[in-house]
Structure formats: structure tokens, C-alpha cells
Amino acid sequence: METHLAPLLDHRPSLHFIGVGGIGMSALAGILADRGFKVSGSDTRDSPVLESLRRRGVRVFAHQDAGTITALNRDGDSSALVVISTAVPETNPELMAARQAGLSICHRSDVLADLINAQPSISVAGSHGKTTTSTLIATLLAATDQDPTAVIGGIVPAFQSNARSGRGRVLVAEADESDGSLVKFRSSLGLITNLELDHTDHYPDLEALIQTLQRFAAGCGSLLANADCPVLSRHFQPGAWWSIERSYGVEFAALAVEEHGEGTVADFYENGELVGRFSLPLPGRHNLSNATAALAACRLEGVPFGALATAMATLRSPGRRFDFRGPWAGRQVVDDYAHHPSEVEATLHMARLMVTSGRSPLPEVPQRVVAVFQPHRYSRTAEFLDAFAAALVLADSVLLAPLYAAGEAPIAGINSQALADRLQHLRPELPLAVSTSLDQLAEQVVRRSRPGDLVLVMGAGDVNGLWSRLEGLADLSSPDAPDTPAARLAA
């Protein structure tokens, strides 16, 4: 497919990404490498993502220091465009060396904007469900022979990657609102899943977030939005609405006829008229809304409903979205990125539906839900302390990891113990424990869970490292289990 590249990428045969292993940075690096650009990057931690980039021809440096810039200059890349993300501080030695060398530097959102603006595109924004919805759109387009390009903030199961370089007309992108940079995008179709206050380190209040999303919407050729979200219904006027609550007054709707722990069967409507029925193998009403948005976007793209309904049966969530890591000592361990109260509540409702309906996409139907949660950022935890507590009481037992600061300075009185205190006040009988390290958290899982439990690990920090610690422990049901501290705790 031939595309016109916007001015930032014109005449820039070489790009260098500082922190290329990040989920957003690696997606861009991979696509640009596929499109013939000379791409390099640096990251201090090796990962499967970096190995994938190497296979695509990306040169990866294992250090972030002045030596990397020296190597680029020595190898003829003295005019490389250096790409950074918001996570790269001004004190980063490699960034400082790039500035001293006079290299051009831009934010990753500028590169993404060039890709989005250079061809027909669908950009997915909103407080929750962006990664899942953009994953579903890209997967449906690929399954119906549209061959899309995709830049997603998670691993798409159908692609085994967070990026796909297709030859079709459409690019699908996740538009992150966390730093406001999505206002640069000029998409053919903008999609907003929902809107509520988050990223309080950047937005002082909900009004500021609304204004940013209104600027994003104004830059799109047309807008598709969720009519079930009260903030969107009050403050936006899209070209098309979707709903999972009603079929009247909206352009697209999906009304559930059967809901259980394995998924949802729903009737799909367009402009109030029944079009057909589909089966969604992802449980939970939040996933039904995400899937309805994806169907609506694909229908606006002209894809026949029949082909989409067939493809729906194969959909899977992106990585770290109710991601089954494996069985462990009779328990089932699931990893989820939920780090906002609404996400935690939706994820726990979905897990509870599996318990109550006796049906689950997991190998075994869980008997109880043990929530393992890591608060993410002091600012977010302070803003939503009560809301987090109200969501977490839906679990049968709660284990709290130490708060993940994400580079923020501490706020007095804000920590995992403060959240535990709120939980205990709301539900005094709730089994509850607070850990000071991931190693101690693993021991708490041993102490406080039992065979038949769903151990649901939630958070956007390093709590997903809990699985590797659990894997290092013996199967506690085995008579040959070694005499480890964790084994003794369970005895």
C-alpha cells in the first residue's frame, strides 16, 4: 500500500526510540521498520517485545547513555530523529546526549499523528476500554480481509503483537488521553468509549479532560460515541451513537439476550432495526459495550454484518485484560491491567459472573474470587481511595500489594494501608492483608487462597511480576513439594 507520509517523517530515513521496549514505542518502531525506515532504539530491560523488534530489523541498544548517541553518529545516523515518550525524563543521559549532539527530538505522539493523519484511520479514545476496543476493531477488520494497520497499547492475540503493518486502507490506533497528546490526531473516525476523571497528575478536574476530548473530537472527520456514558451524552454531539441499553435514538445497539460467565449473546440493531444476532466469547457488560463499538466502527467502514458476526466468535481480549496466566496449586491465576475504580469494579463483576453462573472461559469454573490489587500512583489513589474500596469489596478476599509510585513523590497518608483501612470500614468481615513487597505478596497468596480460587491480579505497575514468583513456588498439593518458606506457610 502506498501512503503519503506527513512532513515529520518525510526525508527521515532513520529514527531512534529512547525506551523502545515500551508498549506504545515498540508498536511505532515495528511499523516504521516494516515500512522501510532504518529504526533503532534503547532499553535497559530485555523482553520478548525487543526480541520481536530485532527480528523485524530494529537495532536495539541495551543501555541508555551517551554511548548510544555516539554509536549512532559513528554509524552514519547523525541525522536520526530521536523519539521519546512522556516516561522519559529530561535528566535521561541518552536524551541529554542527543540534545548536545543537536539531534532532532520529538514525542511519540507526533510520530503516531503522522501515521494516523497520512491515511484513513480509526482512533479509539476514552477513559476505559481503549485497548480492548481497538484490539477488537483491528481483529475484526483483519478477519474480514480488510488487512488493517494497527497501533495498539496491548498485545493483540490475533497478531501476537501490539502492532500490525497491513496493506489495507485503514489504520486503527489507540489514542491515549493521559497526557493530552491525542489532540494532534486527525482521524477519519474518532471513537470515544466513555469518559470519567482519571490521570489526575495531568488533569485538575473532569472539565479539563472533557475539553481535551472535545478538541480530539473536533479534529476527527466523524465521531462515534457511547450513548450509555452520561458525560459523553451531555457534552458531545457525535455523528453516530452506540448503546447496549436501548435500540431507539441511537445508530447502533446490541441488546443482550443471554449473559453468563463465558460470554454474551446479543441482538444487533442499526437505526432501530434488528440486523442480526452475534455471540461474543468475552463475558461482562463492559466487553459487550466494547464489542458493540467495534461492530459499529466496522459497519461504518462498510464491512457486512454477516462477516463480522462470524468473526465475532473468534475474538479474544488483548494481553493483560483478564489474561489467564495458568493454574497454580489448584488455583487459577488471572492478570488484569485494571487500575481505576471503574475498571476494578467491571473486572470483579465479570469474575463474579463466572462464579454465580457456573460458566467460565477458564479451564475450571472458579468457586471464589481472591482480588490481588496494586494501587497505581499516589495522585490516583488519593483521588479515588473511597471508590477503590467500594469496588474491591466485591471480592471474597483482598490482598493489597505495595503502592506503585510510577515516579510520583509520596503523598502523606496515601498508601496501601490507607486503602485497607477504608476496606475494613466498609466491610469489617472481609479477609484482608497488606504486603510490603511482591515476595511477601506471594506468601500471602499461599496463606490466604485455596484450591478452587480465582486469584485475580489487578494493577498497572509491577504486580504482574507476581506470577513469576508463584511459578517459582512448588505445587503445594504435591507430596514432593520442597521445604520452602512458602511451602511451610501453607502446611
Q: Which of 200, 154, 143, 146 is nearest to 177 (CA)?
A: 200
Q: Mean pLDDT, to the nearest integer, of 218-237?
A: 98
What are the structural domains, with CATH classification, of the chain? 14-107 (3.40.50.720), 119-312 (3.40.1190.10), 323-490 (3.90.190.20)
Q: Are 336 and 345 in contact (CB under 8 A)?
A: no
Q: Which helix (H) or strand (E) holds 289?
A: helix 285-300
So what's the pLDDT on residue 157?
94
* 7-11, 232-236, 429-433: range with lowest mean pLDDT: 7-11
Please list, in sequence order, all residues whose beta carbon lies within 8 angstroms of the beta carbon of residue 67, skipping any fewer than 6 positions away.
none
For the stretch 15-59, pLDDT in tens is 999 999 999 999 999 999 999 999 999 999 888 899 999 999 999
Q: Please say whether the dihedral angle defined by the alpha carbons of residues 136, 164, 160 and 131, taken in this order, is positive or negative.
A: negative
| Bridge partner list, 268 | 254, 276
pLDDT at site 470: 92
Mean pLDDT of 344-350: 96
Name the nearest CA neighbour of 354 among 426, 292, 282, 415: 282
Residue 481 confidence (pLDDT): 40
**Helix or strand run (H / E) with residue 140:** helix 130-143
In this predicted structure, the answer to whether residue 174 has a pLDDT above a threshold of 50 is yes
Least confident span in 12-26, 67-81, 124-138, 432-446 = 67-81
Could you report the per-residue pLDDT of 354-409, keeping only the tens digit for each?
Answer: 999 999 999 999 999 999 999 999 999 999 999 999 999 999 999 999 999 998 99
Confidence at 282, pLDDT banded by 50, 70, 90 = very high
433, containing H or E segment: strand 432-434
pLDDT digits (tens, 9 = 90+) for 44-101: 988 889 999 999 999 999 999 999 999 998 887 778 899 999 889 999 999 999 999 9
